[in-house]
A and B are shown apart, each in its own frame.
Chain A
Amino acid sequence: MAEMFIDCDSFFASCEQAINPSLRGKPVAVVGSAESTQRGVVTAKSREAKKYGITTGMPYFQAKKLMPNGYFIRGKPHVYLDFSRKLHDKLVTYGKYVHPCSIDEFHVSCPEGYEAAISIAEDFRAWTRNILGITVTAGVADTRVLAKLASDMGKPDGLKVIPYEDISKEIDALPVDDLPGIGYRTAATLAKRGVHTLGELRAFPKELLRPLMGVRVDWLYDSIEGREPAYGWGLPFKTKSMSNDFTLLESTADEDVIKAHLLMIADNLAGRLATENMAARVAHLHLRYTDFNDVGGSFTIGYDMTLTDHIMDALLHLYKRIYVPGRSVRLVGAGISGLTKEIQLRLPIDEESDIGRRIRDVLGDMSSRFGPASIRRASVACSTGMIANMVNPLTAGVTISKGL
């Protein structure tokens, strides 16, 4: 049995270089949407741009200072999604279990072993280079975690294999946070105990970490010792959370504008819930002030959220708790988690909830037939500048859903 991890190199930037070959070998940074290019952040950078110190998430103005002669390209999410779909479709043709991990990362399980995995990796890498014009790195190992680590080690445009007998030799010198799943907090916890490398972790008594890390300690040691952690594998892909962020065109302390963006996000999230026939129990809010201070929180609600109004109620609850009136905001983000397919109706079941369900069905239908941007609440449209000179129903106190 071998596991393979496929990771595209600088995916969005590579797509841009594939579309416009003049950009190959040049420092390219992909930034936000057309409207937010000046205020957005870097979402991807080419290999050449990394040499200038450009990092993902860096604000555009900062990246522009570091790379004044660089090429800043507006992102085209639909193009990247289509490239991702092609990558997935190609992987499926090999007849193996393919698990998409993100838009540009895939796990492939090869029960036949290493030779089959390496052969697939080589064929797939040649295909992506020749047909799509992008490069990918493949990692092959006994477990998914080690395969991912191998792909990180093989970057860019490489194929790295970590055979079981060489695990210690290959990974022991690496810092602990190179292991996928070890974040800075876990790394700090381990550093306090003198554990900085994966080799030191291997030598450290596992049971001494259990009180600090709980069951995660088993996952950690299974991972570095080449045993597949005993959960999750083989299960169908499950959506665990949904979120949406907006960098505002101009920073604002106008609460109507902030709330309108929240409503737009709530609408998007409700549309996605309707499409996947799911409900959520937890809402998350994220605000970034103009001084780049981030605040956020989450709220678990006592019923299954399915409609925009449900999500908006939870977000407004968080908003009142978190937002400091008068402070200028540059980014509004929100998400939902605790997703379930076993939807419990919000009680009491009355006429209004029937209307709510009907509205939800119609919105879901419109969203899938005409696209997610085909319908918006009027309050979102005017406060986010979609429709100029319109009375703002938020301030006018009109509840659009009741008028439908």
Chain B
Amino acid sequence: MYGDLPCPISVTARFSKGAISPLAFLWSGRAYKVSAITARWAKRSGAVVEHHFAVLSGGPDVYELELSSETLTWRIVKVYLPDGSTYS
């Protein structure tokens, strides 16, 4: 349904007052507008910090986006489905 994950994506994001907010992302040729950020967290692996965002895009599926502080690249890593399962 969603193709292979994790997958590099293009993201439009706002960096303001130390906070990062993804606004829209382009994945597999389709544009997704972020309607809400349901959660955000950071994962530290030694000196590298990965910023994670769980976002909605109009529907019930939740997309987990990841920004690496090391490479400054975005990936989509997981999709949380309404039945509680995840696609990854």
Interface positions of A (Cβ within 8 A of B): 15, 18-23, 26, 28, 71-73, 78-79, 82-83, 132-133, 368-371, 374
Contact = CB atoms under 8 A, between A and B. Distances in A.
B44 interface: yes
A20 B39 CA distance: 9
Specify which of A21, A83, A132, A371 lies most central, judged by the most chain B CB atoms within 10 Å of its CB: A21
B60 interface: yes
B45 A20 contact: no
* Number of chain B interface residues as a range: 20 to 34
A20 B47 CA distance: 29
B46 A133 contact: no
B44 to A, nearest CB: 7
B80 to A, nearest CB: 4
Interface in B30-60: 38-39, 41-47, 52, 54, 56, 60
Contacts of A21: 38, 56, 60, 62
A20 B46 contact: no
B18 interface: no
Nearest to B84: A71
Contacts of A371: 44-46
Contact of B41 (A78, A133, A369): A78
Contact of A23 (B41, B42, B84): B84
A132 B83 CA distance: 22
A83 B45 CA distance: 17
Contacts of B45: 370-371
Contacts of A18: 38-39
A71 B42 CA distance: 25
Contact of A19 (B38, B46, B47, B83): B38
Given A371-B45, A371-B46, A22 B60 contact: yes
Interface string B52-88: 1010100010101000000000000000111110000
A15 B62 CA distance: 14
Given A18-B39, A71-B83, A73-B84, 15 more contacts: A15-B39, A19-B62, A20-B84, A21-B38, A22-B60, A22-B81, A22-B83, A22-B84, A28-B84, A71-B84, A78-B41, A78-B43, A79-B43, A132-B39, A370-B46
A369 B43 CA distance: 14
11 contacts: A18-B39, A19-B54, A19-B64, A20-B38, A20-B84, A21-B56, A22-B80, A71-B83, A78-B43, A78-B44, A371-B46
B60 A82 contact: no
Contacts of B43: 78-79, 82
Contacts of B47: 369-370
Given A71-B84, A368-B46, A369-B47, A20 B54 contact: yes
B39 A19 contact: yes
Nearest to B82: A22
A20 B64 CA distance: 10
Nearest to A78: B43
A15 B47 CA distance: 25
A23 B43 CA distance: 23
A15 B82 CA distance: 15
Given A19-B38, A20-B54, A21-B38, A369 B62 contact: no
A21 B35 CA distance: 13
A19 B80 contact: yes
Contacts of B38: 18-21, 133
A83 B39 CA distance: 9
Contact of A82 (B41, B56, B64, B80): B41
